[in-house]
Amino acid sequence: MTQIFAYIPFKNGAAEDVALEYPTAAKKIDEGASLTAVVTGSGADLDTVANEMTSIYSEVIKIDHADLAYPNAEVVRKALVNVIPADAIFLTAHDTFGMDLAPGLSVKMESAYAADMVDFDGLDGTILKAVRQELGGAVSTHMAIDISSGVVMTVRPGSFGPVEGSSAGGSVVDKSGDAGDVSVKRKFLEIVEAEAGDVDITKSDVLVSIGRGIEDEDNIEIAQELADAMKAVVSCSRPIVDAKWLEKSRQVGTSGQTVKPKVYMAMGISGSFQHLGGVKGNPFIVAVNKNPKAPIFQVADVGIVEDILDFIPELTEAVNDL
């Protein structure tokens, strides 16, 4: 039987949303496969998450070690190599931790490797059919992966949707003892928090971008509130920067920053090509503009003809209620 192991990232005792997506992904890989969650860390937080995962996964492996208190990818890899079966399918999220952990893990486990998967099409013998994207999302590709000696894969969060229903009634299995020697040549020092105002809009997956429709500097507040609710960052088009309402570093455009978010909320932006020239990677674009003829509606995925000054606060409220 195919064995699938999924790594659960967590922060402050709460698992990341991708934990709910693995079961959906696993079904698409092989409906009959076994799915085991793997969670590493140390202490109370680890236990909380492991227990939480029992409602979604039938088996949850936990590895507790002092050196795993902060998820240092090198340490985690060493532990996992001793715990995960060599020919298993191993899943983790394609996030900054996944990019750190997964490639090296596949080498040590002598498995195949596939990154940033957005869809699976089942197994054909030991060949897994899958879909991913290239060139910043400009094109998609069908992949064939030989998993006969196992495979390590990262999946793109948000691609698979959360599992419907739960209460798997699973149990936690402590494999801390199997971890073995986890000494590594990379030592975690500390986290340096981003300064408020030091925001790099090119690194955010979701942008709430404002244009002239915001009309007044004082109205920028409502955009920030929406951004906070969506865990996004506020960016803007050139006129806002020219008016000195926001710093240059917030500007999206050919003479501003190039951004490659997953979602781009174009609020009160007309959609000039100089502005859109800064939006790459084919994001999901939501355009809100009171002018139904605004060019942005040609390129947006979703269009809404409304005054952003009315619309944004209502959207913020709805998002916060989720």
Residues 160-219 within binding reach of other proteins (CB under 8 A):
161, 184-194, 198-200, 202-206, 212
CB of 185 to other proteins, least distance (A): 4
- Min CB(100)–other proteins separation in Å: 5
Q: Which stretch binds other proteins (CB under 8 A): 29-37, 40-48, 156-164, 166-174?
A: 156-164
Looking at the Cβ atoms of 33 and 305, the one nearer to other proteins is 305
User: Binding string, 112-151, against other proteins, x = CB under 8 A?
Assistant: xxxxx---------------xxxxx-xxxxxxxxxx-x-x
Q: Which of 180, 247, 273, 320 binds other proteins (CB under 8 A)?
A: 273
Binding residue for other proteins (CB under 8 A) from 19, 155, 179, 230?
230
75 CB contacts (<8 Å, ≥6 apart)? 65, 67, 68, 182, 184
User: Would you say 47 or 306 has its CB closer to other proteins?
Assistant: 306
Q: DSSP 3-state assignment of 104? A: helix
Minimum distance between the CB of residue 174 and other proteins, rounded to whole angstroms?
27
Encoded amino acid at 209, one letter: S
> Which of residues 26, 102, 267, 269 is near other proteins by CB under 8 A?
102
Structure tokens at 194: 């981003």
Show contacts with other proteins in window 1-20 (CB under 8 A). Answer: none
Smallest gap from Cβ 275 to other proteins, in A, equals 12
CA dihedral 6, 94, 320, 309 (to 10 degrees): -160
Is the Cβ of residue 178 or residue 302 nearer to other proteins in the bound state? Answer: 302
Residues 66, 50: Cα–Cα separation, whole Å: 16
Least Å distance between CB 26 and other proteins?
19
Of 106, 315, 151, 117, nearest in space to 222 by CA: 315
Least CB distance from residue 58 to other proteins, whole Å? 26
Instruction: Compare residues 165 and 197 and give the one whose CB is closer to other proteins.
Output: 197
Of 19, 34, 32, 163, residue with least CA distance to 89 = 34
CB atoms within 10 A of CB 216: 9
Location of structure tokens 């040549």: 185
What are the distances in angstroms from CA 178 to CA 59, 91, 156, 234? 17, 20, 29, 46
Query: How far apart (Å, rounded) are the C-alpha atoms in residues 3 and 237?
Result: 49
Q: Quick one: 68 or 232, whose CB is closer to other proteins?
A: 232
Question: Is residue 273 within 8 Å of 253, Cβ to Cβ?
Answer: no
Helices 96-108 + 73-83 axis angle, to 10: 40
Q: Which is nearer to other proteins, 48 or 258 (CB)?
A: 258
d(CA 8, CA 222): 34
Distances in Å between the alpha carbon of 214 and those of 110, 219, 221, 270, 309?
54, 6, 10, 12, 7
* Residue 247 contacts other proteins per CB under 8 A: no
Tell whether residue 108 is a contact of other proteins (CB under 8 A). yes
From residue 293 to residue 322, the character string flagging contacts with other proteins as x (rule: CB under 8 A) and all else as - is: --xxxxxxxxxxxx---xx--xx--xx--x
Q: Does 34 bind other proteins (CB under 8 A)?
A: no
Q: Kindly state the smallest distance separating residue 120's Cβ from other proteins, in Å.
A: 14
Give residue for tokens 């925001």.
Answer: 199
What is the smallest separation between the CB atom of 130 and other proteins, expressed in angstroms? 9
